[in-house]
Structure 1
């Protein structure tokens, strides 16, 4: 049983809280490397549903797109999952999900939701912190040339075929 899988009978009626510490072996985030983190859970249980709000605070090792060097990216996010008895169709969006109870196992799992929440918060442009300024924006970088650089003298030359086409236009 995963650390993010809970027995339904062990969740008390009403509101309750739990904190789960995750290690690097608890979640598979390939191609990234999960470095561990904390999931703060808020359960709200009634006869008809169980609502699970969670806050993920974790670290993920990713590779910088500019330097190809690995670095640790802190990730923090919130999500909500509602487990209901009478759900005909499961739904989800960027803020939450509605799922069916699994009565056969008498458990509910939020492992997929936690993993997906972390994935969705990995930045699209993965830049090592050394390439960011104090406000988190990318710094300009210089380009270097090696060897002799020839000046572009052909910029002024116009293809004679274009000249002929221009004459036809007039």
Structure 2
């Protein structure tokens, strides 16, 4: 996959300091992955890599738009994306995932590929409910602020909220009968 190599960073040749990398992603980038959520887009990623003797720290700053399909109307629309994430790679004896944001890579690793990280961070930034912008105003109108909660008191209930008194008096007799089943 020649296109995937565009997202390689040769860490063996880098000195122990901070390095800057830029990546542009378009429809051909999304074709490299088998996801059905994102159909394409145009994004730019600034990746800052801090290299030390034992650790690589990658700071991702991704901005642009992704083409999605509306869950309500099935129309395609452009969703703005603005992502800032940090990922760490620690040098060790073998390649292992230690945590979701920390991997261990072999000490003799020559290069890393950030394409999967870029794709994952973009996907994680998307809303669960994908709505065309024209439906967002309707969603705001139907917000939880308009929900009314009704409460009623049974006859004989007192207005006091104290915990004193018998709690057994408030139990429905049908539940009382269930206690006898043991």
Q: TM above 0.5, one fold?
A: yes
Shift of the alpha carbon at 1:29? 5.9
Mean Cα deviation higher: 48-57 or 6-15: 6-15
Alignment of structure 1 residues 52-131 onto 2, 5 Å: 52-86=58-92, 89-93=96-100, 97-102=101-106, 106-131=110-135
Alpha-carbon separation, structure 2, partners of 1:63 and 1:139: 22
Deviation beyond 6 Å, 4+ runs, structure 1: none
**Contact 1:7 1:107 survives alignment (8 Å):** yes
Residues 1:2 and 2:5 are matched in the alignment = yes
Alpha-carbon separation, structure 1, partners of 2:93 and 2:65: 34
Unaligned runs of 5+ in 2: 143-182
**Contact 1:29 1:115 survives alignment (8 Å):** no
Decide which structure has greater helix share: 2
TM, length-normalised to structure 2: 0.64
TM, length-normalised to structure 1: 0.68
CA 1:36–1:2 in structure 2 vs 1: closer, same or farther (change >3 Å)?
farther
**Contact 1:87 1:99 survives alignment (8 Å):** no
Unaligned runs of 5+ in 1: 141-170
**Contact 1:3 1:26 survives alignment (8 Å):** no
Shift of the alpha carbon at 1:79? 1.5
Q: CA RMSD in A?
A: 2.4
